[in-house]
Structure 1
Amino acid sequence: MQYPKIKSASAIDNHTLIVEFDNSETKKYDISPLLNKDMFTPLKNPAFFKAVKVEQGGYAVVWNSEIDISEYELWKHGKAMP
């Protein structure tokens, strides 16, 4: 199955992303459960977390070359927004 690509992403607080997809849907994604994994530890820094970018092509949100979250994860586990 094809999942919508990410059009934009922004951090609204220290643990929550608002992600807009190319099918015009927007979802809220809480990264808190990921912070227990070593790979995501740097995201505990609010300034670093807010530096989120959309990977070219819309397949993930990224912070650096080692930290990313896929469009699949954001789409499947994000909460739909009205």
Structure 2
Amino acid sequence: MNPKVTAVEPMNSYILRLTFENNDVRVFDVSPFLEKGIFQELKDESYFRQVSVAFGGVQWPHEQDFSKDTLYLLSSPETVSAPTY
């Protein structure tokens, strides 16, 4: 069973930064979905930024959504770059 999303932050280039209930922080690229049906509305960046957590996944005001399973399975662990000296 995949963990639920507890926080979402919209980033540049149609990326969502997700925090899951197991404290994993992962990134999900929405851009592959932008040409499909109801997801086309997400191309509007101001609308894209209206994302919120709902039912363990994420959704937008006009009910476009991604389930926790889709988000966890298709996302990547967030990588943190080490400082360079």
**TM-score if structure 2 supplies the norm length?**
0.86
Percentage of identical aligned residues: 29
Q: Contact 2:26 / 2:78 at 8 angstroms: preserved in 1?
A: yes
Give the drift of 1:14: 4.0
Given the alignment of the two structures, is residue 63 of structure 1 paired with residue 41 of structure 2, yes or no?
no
Kindly report structure 1 stretches of 4+ aligned residues shifted beyond 6 Å: none
Superposed displacement of residue 31, structure 1: 0.5
Q: Which has the higher contact order (CA 8 A, sep 6+)?
A: 1
Max Rg structure: 2
Q: Distance in 2 between matches of 1:81 and 1:14?
A: 15
- Cα deviations across residues 10-46 of structure 1 (Å, max 9, x unaligned)? 1011410000000000110110100110110110000
Partner SS state of residue 3, structure 1: coil
User: Which residue does 1:81 correspond to in 2?
Assistant: 78
TM-score of the pair, normalised by structure 1:
0.89
Unaligned runs of 5+ in 1: none
Cα distance in 1 between the residues matched to 2:2 and 2:71: 10
